[in-house]
Homo-oligomer: A and B are copies of this chain.
Amino acid sequence: MDSRTRQPHAKQSLRVWIRMLRATTLIEKRIRSYLKGEFDSTLPRFDVLAALSREQAPVTMSELTAHLLVSNGNVTGLVNRLVDDGLIAREVDPEDRRSQLVVLTPAGRSAFRDMAAAHEGLVDSLFAQLSDDEMEALLSLTEKLNKTLHRQDETE
């Protein structure tokens, strides 16, 4: 490693971060406009359905919130609208009768399945120019980054 021909780590970090932020912003924009156009839906709604689809059993609102990828101010409002649309159902928590659980309805599960397949196809088309080896490398680098970010969060 020849440090004379390299950017200092700090400058390199900033360049990497700006490129990651640009790519993520562009991809998010594409997904938002696709979900709007194809399903008249939004990324936060998709995120709630995706989080619930990964659960085997009904979950509390705070469990749901913890599993969302897209940070969102108003999970309660989102869930209310998804309940109105028949995609989510509420149940009373048997362990704490004052609190409510949420779960996908069969209609919600089926709507999510359609959206998820289309979403997967869209995301794949955005990464299509990267070879399998490049995807492998990007996966392992972002995995390592996430691990260190989580570790830093825990030690704070």
Work out how many copies of this chain go into the complex.
2
Counting CB contacts under 8 A, is A13 at the interface? yes
A58 to B16, CA, bound (A): 28
Known: A23-B149, A133-B1. A127 touches B13 (CB 8 A): yes
Counting CB contacts under 8 A, is A36 at the interface? no
Which of A25-33, A77-85, A95-103, A107-115 lies at the interface with chain B?
Answer: A25-33
Main SS class of interface, A: helix
Which A residues are within 8 Å of any B CB, using their own CB? 1, 6, 9-30, 69-71, 120-121, 123-130, 132-139, 141-146, 148-150, 152-153
A11 to B11, CA, bound (A): 33
